[in-house]
Structure 1
Amino acid sequence: MKRTTFAAALGVLAPLFVPANALLRFGCAKSSVQRLDPLVNNGQNPSPHLHQIIGGNSFNVSMDIASHDLVKESTCTSCQFTEDFSNYWTAVLFFKAKNGTYKRVPQRAQSGMEGTQGGMVVYYMSDALFDTAQKSTVTAFKPGFRMLVGNVNYNNREQARDFRQLTYICMQNEGTRAPESLTFPKQPCPSGIMINHRFPTCWDGKNVDSPNHQDHVSYPETGTFESGGKCPDTHPVRLPQLLLETVWDTKTFNNKADWPADGSQPFVWSSGDATGYATHADYLFGWKDDSLQKHLDGHTYVTAPTLKTQSIAQQNKCSVQDMVKEDIDSWLSKLPGDIVA
């Protein structure tokens, strides 16, 4: 993935609370929380750290491009649109208590999606968030497409400049969408912590993957997707902006008496990172046929007439079997994978 200036991007972040007709926005229930990562650690059971996964139920230990067809092998999806058998996943948030033990932080549904078990909100857009017309043409991801944003080993701002708009929001209420920060909030958040993963939006037009799952995609030459930045000549194909929002329900852990004695913030990623700079997300494309491209071409974001929906109850029923079988919900002396933050 092309290295770009991160600081310039921060000044053009647009609020995410916009009219429903500005973009394709939908909820996905949690399908699984377990220590698997078939993109970075394909075939490894268990993977080094814990992930929360949404989407098609064909998610598995191994998911090779040549042999794993998400559409054909999935029998359901935990997402609102039944044509979307893609898989999306991120690391998991934990609270580290003053005594050094860890507790998994639950995910919660956003307003209008109440009843969805955990999960995330997914966005696909063809224009800036504030442009409700959505007139631009973008090319939908191709079968087998996959990518990774972020780096699990990063722990400082200089490293994080490789990526744009991987941010945290300390929610004061359900509508809070600003300010965005690059690190974990340092104070209790009344309505939880929202974490945003915005993926690169320029593609080389040839490769659906690359060895590091990043080099086949790039950010615009300057600015961000929302600011209309031009794609570099090496990656000329303009992709939809894919954004994942996860709200971690941190309210139970807002008593500062339980926070570290030195006053530092108490949350850590399942990878062991307490800075927030190691935030990352993975994507395996799995939309049926050309359903996503048809929708993007139609620019009909109010009713999405070309897409079929399912109820939240149906979304919640779609799950992936636990293939690791370890305790992730008790108070733990170490993070899953014997990780100590």
Structure 2
Amino acid sequence: MKWLALTFALAAPTHAGLRFGCSTLSIQRLDPVVEPGNAPSAHLHQIVGGNAFKANMTGDVGEQGTCTTCTFSEDFSNYWTAVLYYKHPTNGSYKRVPIYPNAQLSGTGIQGGMTIYYTQVDFNTNGKDKITSFKPGFRMTVGSPATNTLDGGKAHKGLRYTCLQTILTRGAETPDFPTKACPAGIMAIHHFPACWDGKNLDSPDHQSHMYDTTKGGFQPAAPCPASHPVRMPQVAYETMWNTTAFNSLPWPKDGTQPFVWSFEDSKGYGTHGDYLFGWKGDSLQKAMDSTCMFQGCENGKPLKSQNVAAMNKCTIKNTIEEDTEGWLTALPGRAM
């Protein structure tokens, strides 16, 4: 009976869920949400999405970009996180960890970047709630670089790590960095809140206009509260950090691990992400109202998409010129 129920569940009509790749747009110290106008920002970010990205972003971003590093050519949103570095335990130097693409994405050859999700209740249903698209000018963050305790890390149920045994490993999520060498790298996961107050496109802390009912993973979230009644898409990022080249290099002798975020977090508790909406016109709402899933949403069904070559070609000139590659004596912006 259980198998029969599962069969019917998988065969039932589904409602839109987007999963797509975005190649790297830029790696530099800019953060137009938390530090608008500051050039440089406090720490290094890896950024994907539309080429309108700059230190200060206002207005309808969907009408400002001319290209995007994402699969859907109508998506000029920007998505960014901190950058992962290996810290040499002997001499204290740093080297940036490269990113590799999700093997489950359509197309091959995506350069770095992230996997982006817009889900509704879960992967199989839209449930009973209307899913309302974000509005022009909308932005939010999840997590905080100031989080520095295990309890603080656990409290953010949508922020986790997976020690990849293979490139297809999922599950076994932890609130802190894996303490052992991972055969296929480390996946950093960021689930954003999906309940909106229906009024504010932002808030002073970039979080209070949203309410998080995430239970972790891609489980159905709890209902939205009366204070934040509008159910919006569940945005999530997955970043595949290819730590394998560092598994044979020295690791700390005290049993800890050698990786740090670009704001000098060696535990992983302070992982965080930023989101700035930039879908063109009503394209995201159109997708949320459709019945497509993942790659089935591409090629005009209902969203316009582009090939990997076009994604990789979209770039911006760095505003901040500083060394982020090679062996560094200090993390960018954090001189010794």
CA distance in 1 between partners of 2:127 and 2:289 (Å):
9
1:161 positional shift: 4.8
The corresponding residue for 2:110 is 116
Correspondence for 1:88 among 74, 79, 87: 79
Deviates more, 1:197-206 or 1:69-78: 69-78
Correspondence for 2:251 among 226, 249, 259: 259
Q: Does structure 2 retain, via aligned residues, the 8 Å contact 1:135–1:299?
A: no
1:86 positional shift: 0.2
Q: Does structure 2 retain, via aligned residues, the 8 Å contact 1:38–1:62?
A: yes
Correspondence for 2:319 among 317, 323, 326: 323
Q: Does structure 1 retain, via aligned residues, the 8 Å contact 2:158–2:190?
A: yes
> In the TM superposition, what whole-angstrom CA distance separates every residue of 1:97-116 from its partner, at most 9, and x where no partner exists?
12210000011111144311
CA 102–27 in structure 1, closer or farther in 2 if over 3 Å, else same: same
The corresponding residue for 2:6 is none
Q: Does structure 2 retain, via aligned residues, the 8 Å contact 1:134–1:299?
A: no
The corresponding residue for 2:5 is none
1:174 positional shift: 1.6
Q: Does structure 2 retain, via aligned residues, the 8 Å contact 1:272–1:339?
A: no
The corresponding residue for 2:120 is 126
> In the TM superposition, what whole-angstrom CA distance separates every residue of 1:251-275 from its partner, at most 9, and x where no partner exists?
10012x5111222100000011111
1:201 positional shift: 1.0
The corresponding residue for 1:192 is 185
* Length-normalised TM-score, structure 2: 0.90
1:134 positional shift: 3.5
> In the TM superposition, what whole-angstrom CA distance separates every residue of 1:229-264 from its partner, at most 9, and x where no partner exists?
111110011111101000001010012x51112221
Deviates more, 1:107-116 or 1:203-212: 107-116
1:23 positional shift: 2.2
CA 69–22 in structure 1, closer or farther in 2 if over 3 Å, else same: closer
2:93 paired with 1:101: yes
Deviates more, 1:224-233 or 1:24-33: 224-233
Q: Quote the sequence identity (%).
A: 49
- What does 1:167-316 align with in structure 2 at a 5 Å threshold? 167-220=160-213, 223=215, 226-255=219-248, 258-301=250-293, 303-304=296-297, 305-316=301-312
SS of residue paired to 1:246: strand
Q: Does structure 2 retain, via aligned residues, the 8 Å contact 1:271–1:339?
A: no
CA 160–261 in structure 1, closer or farther in 2 if over 3 Å, else same: closer
The corresponding residue for 1:15 is none
Q: Does structure 2 retain, via aligned residues, the 8 Å contact 1:138–1:296?
A: yes
CA 73–227 in structure 1, closer or farther in 2 if over 3 Å, else same: closer
SS of residue paired to 1:168: strand
Q: Does structure 2 retain, via aligned residues, the 8 Å contact 1:108–1:247?
A: yes
CA distance in 2 between partners of 1:267 and 1:91 (Å):
13
CA distance in 2 between partners of 1:133 and 1:236 (Å):
19
1:162 positional shift: 4.6
CA distance in 2 between partners of 1:133 and 1:281 (Å):
26
CA distance in 2 between partners of 1:223 and 1:96 (Å):
33
Correspondence for 1:157 among 131, 142, 150: 150
1:61 positional shift: 1.2
The corresponding residue for 1:12 is none
Deviates more, 1:150-159 or 1:166-175: 150-159
Q: Does structure 1 retain, via aligned residues, the 8 Å contact 2:16–2:288?
A: no
Q: Does structure 2 retain, via aligned residues, the 8 Å contact 1:143–1:286?
A: yes
CA distance in 1 between partners of 2:125 and 2:202 (Å):
31
Q: Does structure 2 retain, via aligned residues, the 8 Å contact 1:56–1:86?
A: yes
CA 189–150 in structure 1, closer or farther in 2 if over 3 Å, else same: same
Deviates more, 1:227-236 or 1:158-167: 158-167
Q: How many residues align?
A: 316
Which consecutive residues of structure 1, in runs of 5 or more, have no partner in the other structure? 1-17
1:303 positional shift: 1.9
1:158 positional shift: 2.6
Kindly provide the amino acid, as one letter, of the partner of residue 67 in structure 2: C
1:21 positional shift: 8.3
The corresponding residue for 2:66 is 75
Q: Does structure 1 retain, via aligned residues, the 8 Å contact 2:153–2:176?
A: no
SS of residue paired to 2:46: strand
CA distance in 2 between partners of 1:289 and 1:204 (Å):
22
Superposed structure 1 runs of 4+ greater than 3 Å apart: 18-22, 133-136, 222-225
2:25 paired with 1:34: no
CA distance in 1 between partners of 2:60 and 2:167 (Å):
37
Q: Does structure 2 retain, via aligned residues, the 8 Å contact 1:54–1:87?
A: yes
Kindly provide the amino acid, as one letter, of the partner of residue 194 in structure 1: M
CA distance in 2 between partners of 1:309 and 1:148 (Å):
26
CA distance in 2 between partners of 1:315 and 1:325 (Å):
23
CA distance in 2 between partners of 1:259 and 1:228 (Å):
38
2:48 paired with 1:60: no
Kindly provide the amino acid, as one letter, of the partner of residue 73 in structure 2: T
CA 339–176 in structure 1, closer or farther in 2 if over 3 Å, else same: farther
> In the TM superposition, what whole-angstrom CA distance separates every residue of 1:100-149 from its partner, at most 9, and x where no partner exists?
100000111111443111000000011223xx244443111111110000
CA distance in 2 between partners of 1:27 and 1:268 (Å):
24
